[in-house]
Amino acid sequence: MIIGVGIDVAEIERFGAALERTPQLADRLFVGSELTLPSGERRGVASLAARFAAKEALAKALGAPGGLLWSDAEVWVEESGQPRLRVTGTVAARAAELGVRSWHVSLSHDAGVASAVVIAEG
């Protein structure tokens, strides 16, 4: 059963400018593993914008309650390239309240825009 669906978009250039203006912003929005590629290189702005959009979409799928922490949601990628969500703390607590058992996430970025869709399934 679908419990919630969220979608979000982020303008890549605007998101990158925000990261440049406020260097500590990346540490507030992302866990360490989200900031780097498996090779250890720093993840690009388009990829980070898509991950931010996923976190926004995740909040919407949960009904956008206050009090969720950005660092309590992590976007990670399987070896196959499939993005996945890992939730802890405040996000996991809200998901448990709603009966969420699994997540589906899709990320994309093109033409200056990053987007994400998240489906919460119970």
Domains within the chain, CATH numbers bracketed: 1-119 (3.90.470.20)
Q: Supply angle C-alpha 44, 48, 50, rounded to 5.
A: 120
Q: Annotation-wise, does 34 bind a ligand?
A: no
pLDDT, the chain, mean: 95
What is the per-residue pLDDT across 38-86, written as a single tens digit (0 to 9) for each? 888 999 999 999 999 999 999 999 998 889 999 999 999 998 989 999 9
Q: What does the block give as tokens for 43?
A: 């993840």
Q: What does the block give as tokens for 98?
A: 């709603």
Q: Annotation-wise, does 56 bind a ligand?
A: yes
pLDDT band at 99 (very low <50, low <70, confident <90, very high): very high
